[in-house]
Amino acid sequence: MKLNAIILAAGKGTRMRSLNNEISKVGYPLLDEPLVNYVIDSVEDLINGETIVVIGFGGEYTKKIVEKRAKTVWQREQKGTGHAVMQAAPILEKCEGSTFVLSGDVPLLRKESLEAMIAHHKENNADLTILTAKPASNFGYGRIIRDERGFVIKIVEQKDANEKEKLIKEVNAGTYLFNNKKLFEQLKNLNTDNKQGELYLTDTISLFIKQGYKVTAYTLEDSSEMLGTNDRAQLAEAESLMRKRINTKHMLNGVSLEDPQNTYIGPYVEIGQDTYIGAGVHLLGKTKIGINNRITGSTHLENTEVGENNVIISSHIVGAKIGNKNTIGPMARMRGECVIGNGTRIGNFVEFKNVKFADGAKCAHLTYLGDTIVEENANIGCGTITANYDGYNKFVTHIGKNVFVGSGTTIIAPVTIKDGAFIAAGSTINKDVGEDDFAIARERQINKEKYANVIRQRAKDIKDKK
């Protein structure tokens, strides 16, 4: 069966109460990933036809998110969900097969549930299958009315339901699987005879029934999958549920989480067995972590690769590649595509920007290295700075193998310090240093006997005059 998907992502999201007029509703992040990406994830592997995202408010924002994974069509005016689906007609209306219609702000829907929905659709030779659920509270949802054979005959909204219908537990979850050609035929018969003056997709259900088409429903096993994110409270609820789902998966795969309720792992993160993740850790983006690491103390890793047997404590690392058996932190920061070798030590209050740090190198504390290459077993002393920026251009510092850089050194790039060199503490280095050379660049110390008393008296005299 040819299978397409239309994802509705044109809504404004007024209840998000944002002052930002550019972000779309489906662009709000959940575990640092836009909501719409979760919806595409759920259906992407099932589609052998077209995936189309209908964009509108904040459309350029949404387009940038989805354009590598789906086609986009514009709903320039917000005239209802039926009108939104119509915008896909130039691409889909002549296609054979079936089409999912999904909401772009329902991130908890699982691929497995959609697979089961497809199977149900095929088994019943249905023209339309509605995804339904039985939540703890059915208030506010459209009730599913079935006939004695189990086929849907209508959906009754809360405001229109009689007392008997209000007791029905099964409700509309807002996801549909249509016979594609029949969908676009019936969309032409929609009208705006409602309070909002809009074209509603749900009105196609009654149109299908009137035509004698077979309409059935598949009920979710877990009603939480239907949860929408219409405001920030619902967004937080969805994130909590998604976090629990993701964390449970990792724990069942052999990862230890100290406090799952306070651990934040994105949907695309990979973690190897026997890795220990402490409370408050954030692992986001396409982070990939190997086996037997220990990551603790509110560490933030984003789009970072970590090898095996590392210890990372209270550090903020973005876009880095880290080898094996390194000790990093506490309070280290890396940015700008850093590459860390094996067996290194990167200590507290160290910041790296675009640094290549080779095997066995050490940088224990209170140091900034920017645009720097550090070779094997070099030792960078406390308070070292590579001055890599002159206000206009960035320059590279190259520190060779077995180099010792004394504390409080400033290296003004571009500079090359060759293998085995020794830099005296407190130096300002602005010229290359040769292999095994000793470099010292500081003023000679002068001690003036008892002159400290002169300075104190001078300061006191100035204060008294004031």
Catalytic residue among 121, 282, 300, 365: 365
Tell how far CA 313 is from the center of its chain. 22
**Residue type for position 246:** I
Instruction: List C-alpha distances in Å: 95 to 53, 91, 118, 176, 184.
Output: 17, 8, 18, 17, 10
Q: Which 3 state secondary structure label does DSSP give 160?
A: helix
Strands 422-423, 438-439: pairing is parallel
d(Cα 361, Cα 381) in Å, to the nearest integer?
Answer: 11
| Cα–Cα distance, 374 to 359 (Å, whole number) | 9
Question: Are 125 and 55 contacting, i.e. CB atoms less than 8 angstroms apart?
Answer: no
Identify the sign of the CA torsion 382, 283, 307, 355: negative
365 is catalytic: yes
Half-sphere exposure of 163 (CA within 13 A, CB side): 0
Sign of the four-CA dihedral 34, 297, 340, 406:
positive
* End-to-end CA, the chain: 91
Sign of torsion, CA 299 277 287 388?
positive
Give Cα 48 to chain centroid, integer Å: 26
State how far the Cα of 173 lies from the Cα of 149, in Å rounded to an integer: 21
Q: What are phi and psi of 61, to 5 degrees?
A: -65, -45
DSSP assignment string, 198-254? ---TTHHHHHHHHTT--EEEEE-SSGGGG---SSHHHHHHHHHHHHHHHHHHHHHTT
E strand or H helix at 38:
helix 35-44
**Residue positions annotated with a catalytic role:** 365
